[in-house]
Amino acid sequence: MDELTNKTKLETLRQGIDKLDKDLLELFEARMQKVSEIADFKKANNLTILDESREEKVLRNIKIIKNIDFAEPAEQFMKYLMEISRNIQADYLSKESATSKNCEINSKGKEGTKPKVLSNAHLKPDITVGFQGIPGSYSEQALRDYFGEDISNKNLPSFEDVFKALEKGEIDYGVLPLENSFTGGIADVYDLLCRYGFYIVGEKGIKVEHNLLALPGAKLGDIKEVYSHPQALQQCSNFLQSNPDWNLISCSNTAVSAKLIGESGSMFKAAIAGQRAAELYGLSILRSYINNDSYNYTRFIIIGRTLEIKEESDKISLAVAISHEPGSLYRVLSHFATNGLNMLKIESRPILNKPWEYLFYVDFEGSLGDETVEEAVKGIKEDSTYFQMLGNYQADIRDFFR
């Protein structure tokens, strides 16, 4: 009798849960409908997906939780809910851009008219482009090579400052290093891409040629301290190890280190930077091309607020997370083989606040206007627990190695 009573009580409790779940799902659907309406508004007003102040305000609502034991899980729940909302907005805007692209192609076939094409720096004549660092940096070189030397630009202290400036509308595009052929991916930029929800609209490969710079008249034997970005120091480790008495000091940017030496007045200090930095800050080159690897390239990405698909777009970047179960990664990767797509790169990054869970950043050849690519992307999304389209743009970096 007691066992039957317990089963009845458990069933009653479960019925209560079922009712609450139904209410939650109806509220979830209503919330996501509002999210779609917000996506429409953001698109119409050229606003970014991420709004940190808004999310902070939403999280303050957790104070209505009366049971303190539920406060932390409630915060995790709301963070995940907002993550879902951002993904839906990104997916919605991505579909809008892809639909627009397909319409242009279809109209060309029916009417013989040429589709409207977006081209590098000439989207509008008065754009401003941001980059991290100061003039003379490799980021500035990538900007000049991609957009042209006469483009209006703004230098910013950090990678995140570039994202913030883009979010506020202070710049139209940003230029950021994403990976180096010797030292690999730049984790901070990968993380910021997903956090802010911006898109890669282009890329530029820059051959990195590091030089040891010092004030005119300084000699190699005079040097006691060498300044540069940590990655530049690492990329020149063989040369630096041949001078073990030197004190190595990190700077935020190679050009910053060159400027610092130019202003120091010290004959005992040197910087590792490019030739343009030497010219800008009045330095002489003590040793040229001191990289460990002569084939040293950095891939820079151009980021924008919206997904831009051009006729020449032939490379796609996306981020996915997968479930912790056998075969989950295989299922995602199988869509490339099944659809005959060439995967160019896959890299993993830990997911914040989710120990031992990872985001996979994937690059592959293709255009979102292609039905085969569209089918592959659809399958990847269905087999992922998280999906974010990062961009569809024209490849540049791989041309260096052909």
Taking only the tens place, the pLDDT of each residue in 211-242 is: 999 999 999 999 999 999 999 999 999 999 99
Residues 203 and 320 reside in one and the same domain: yes
Residues 281 and 391 reside in one and the same domain: no
Residue 115 lies in a domain: no
Of the residues 66, 92, 118, the one at which a domain ends: 92
Residue 314 lies in a domain: yes
Residue 123 lies in a domain: no
Residue 292 lies in a domain: no
Mean pLDDT of 149-158: 93
Mean pLDDT over each residue of the chain, to the nearest integer: 84
Task: Name the nearest CA neighbour of 178 among 196, 190, 167.
Answer: 190
Residues 190 and 220 reside in one and the same domain: no
Q: What is the CATH number of the domain that holds 376?
A: 3.40.190.10
Q: What is the CATH number of the domain that holds 8?
A: 1.20.59.10
Of the residues 242, 261, 287, the one at which a domain ends: 287
Residue 112 lies in a domain: no
* Alpha carbon distance 372, 390 (integer Å): 19
Residues 368 and 388 reside in one and the same domain: yes
Question: DSSP readout, 183-215?
Answer: TEE-HHHHHHHHHHT-EEEEEEEEE---EEEE-
Most confidently modeled range among 89-93, 110-114, 352-356? 352-356
Of the residues 46, 66, 92, the one at which a domain ends: 92
% of the chain residues with pLDDT over 70: 85
pLDDT category at 155 given cuts 50, 70, 90 is very high
pLDDT score of 43: 65
Residues 272 and 248 reside in one and the same domain: yes
Mean pLDDT of 240-260: 94
- Give the structural domain span for 76: 2-92
Mean pLDDT of 198-219: 95
Residues 135 and 240 reside in one and the same domain: no
Q: What is the pLDDT of residues 116-145, one digit of tens each?
A: 334 444 455 589 999 999 999 999 999 999
Measured CA distances, 39 to 6, 96, 390 (Å): 48, 11, 17
Residues 302 and 282 reside in one and the same domain: no
Most confidently modeled range among 29-43, 118-132, 321-335? 321-335
Residues 164 and 27 reside in one and the same domain: no
Contact 151, 129 (CB under 8 A): yes
Q: Could you tell me how far CA 181 lies from the centroid of its own chain?
A: 17
CB atoms within 10 A of CB 115: 17
Radius of gyration of the chain (CA): 25
Residue 120 lies in a domain: no
Residue 390 lies in a domain: yes
Distance from first CA to last CA of the chain, Å, rounded? Answer: 79
Residues 396 and 304 reside in one and the same domain: yes
Residues 259 and 313 reside in one and the same domain: no
Residue 7, amino acid: K
Sheet holding 211-214, edge to edge: 247-250, 225-228, 269-273, 211-214, 284-287
pLDDT score of 64: 83
Q: How many domains does the chain have?
A: 3
Active site residues: 298, 300
Residues 228 and 148 reside in one and the same domain: no
Residues 316 and 271 reside in one and the same domain: no
